[in-house]
């Protein structure tokens, strides 16, 4: 029962953080609908089973089973994950590649990373955490994330680290979401 309550708290806290940030940016629908699939049995049961409290249960499930059934379900239903946008290239030689994400989903992906860092880091959170987490795994992304999507996401994460949340969110709202960014 401890794992059920812990996992539910983690999901609810994450959703609330994302909701607040999305609302600040005017992304009301995305804030409300963010990560609803985490409450499905397909994702919730493994989330409880592999719950540890300080990191994603998907990582623990992947370490034990070699894959995460919850993650495979999640990334196929949530457009704020770059993995949702992987498809065959029009150039046959390229094979499967990341497609360019719509701006509103890049922003939601940014918000998702900030919220996850806040959720798992707690009082140790700093605006540098989301960038460090991204940089730690970015070498593995390769062609799986579209270069323009990766460039914009990293720009926002660096801005968060260097200028803070208030200035980064203002930039997102006034520039990125208005389509005034080269993308």
What is the predicted pLDDT for the residue at 54?
85
**88 located within any domain:** yes
Confidence (pLDDT) at 138 = 66
The more confident residue out of 70 and 141 is 70
Q: Which residues of 157-168 are buried (b: 16+ CB within 10 A; e: fewer)?
A: bebbbeeeeeeb
The domain tally of the chain equals 1
The answer to whether 68 and 58 have CB atoms below 8 angstroms apart is: yes
pLDDT at res. 115: 97
Question: What confidence tier does 119 reach under pLDDT thresholds 50, 70, 90?
Answer: very high
**Mean pLDDT over the full length of the chain:** 94
Q: Is residue 121 part of a domain?
A: yes
- pLDDT exceeds cutoff 90 at 60: yes
Kindly report, residue by residue over 126-169, the tens digit of the pLDDT. 999 999 989 887 656 766 999 999 999 999 999 999 999 999 99
Residue 182 predicted with pLDDT over 90? no
* CA nearest to 35, candidates 62, 58, 3: 58
In a domain, 25, yes or no: no
Q: Is residue 129 part of a domain?
A: yes
- The CA-based angle 42-107-110, given to 5 degrees, is 70
Predicted local distance difference test score (pLDDT) of residue 139 = 59
Locate all alpha helices (DSSP H) within 34-122, ordered by sequence: 41-49, 57-65, 69-75, 103-121
β-pair partners for 60: none
Burial class (CB in 10 A: 0-12, 13-18, 19+), 3: middle
Whether residue 131 is contained in a domain is answered as: yes
The stretch 55-79 carries a mean pLDDT of 95
Which 3 state secondary structure label does DSSP give 88?
Answer: strand
Give per-residue pLDDT as tens, 11-27. 999 999 999 999 999 99
15 lies in some domain: no
- What pTM was estimated for this model as a whole? 0.93
Q: Is residue 62 part of a domain?
A: no
Residue-wise pLDDT for 85-112, tens only, equals 999 999 999 899 999 999 999 999 999 9
Q: Catalogue the long-range contacts made by 71-75 (C-beta closer than 8 Å, 24 or more residues apart).
A: 73/37, 73/40, 73/42, 73/43, 74/35, 74/37, 74/38, 74/43
| Sequence-distant (≥ 6) Cβ neighbours of residue 44 within 8 angstroms | 7, 38
What angle separates helix 129-141 from helix 147-171, to the nearest 10 degrees?
Answer: 170
Picking from 61, 41, 63, the residue whose alpha carbon sits closest to that of residue 51 is: 61
pLDDT(42) > 80: yes
164 inside domain: yes
Residue 124 confidence (pLDDT) above 90: yes
The DSSP string of 4-56 is: HHHHHHHHHHHHHHHHHHHHHTT-HHHHHHTTGGGGSHHHHHHHHHT--SSS-
**100: containing domain:** 79-176
Interval 42-46 mean pLDDT: 97
């Amino acid at each position: 029962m401890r794992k059920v309550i812990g996992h539910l708290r983690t999901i609810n806290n994450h959703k609330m953080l994302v909701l607040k940030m999305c609302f600040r940016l005017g992304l009301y629908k995305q804030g409300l609908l963010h990560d609803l699939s985490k409450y499905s049995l397909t994702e919730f049961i493994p989330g409880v089973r592999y719950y540890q409290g300080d990191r994603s249960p998907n990582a623990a499930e992947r370490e034990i089973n070699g894959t995460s059934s919850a993650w495979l379900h999640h990334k196929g239903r949530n457009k704020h994950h770059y993995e949702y946008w992987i498809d065959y290239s029009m150039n046959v030689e390229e094979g499967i590649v990341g497609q360019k994400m719509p701006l509103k989903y890049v922003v939601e992906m940014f918000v998702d990373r900030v919220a996850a860092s806040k959720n798992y880091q707690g009082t140790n959170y700093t605006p540098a955490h989301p960038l460090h987490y991204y940089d730690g795994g970015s070498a593995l992304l390769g062609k799986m994330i579209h270069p323009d999507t990766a460039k914009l996401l990293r720009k926002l994460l660096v801005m968060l680290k260097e200028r803070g949340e208030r200035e980064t969110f203002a930039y997102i709202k006034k520039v990125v979401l208005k389509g005034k960014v080269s993308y």
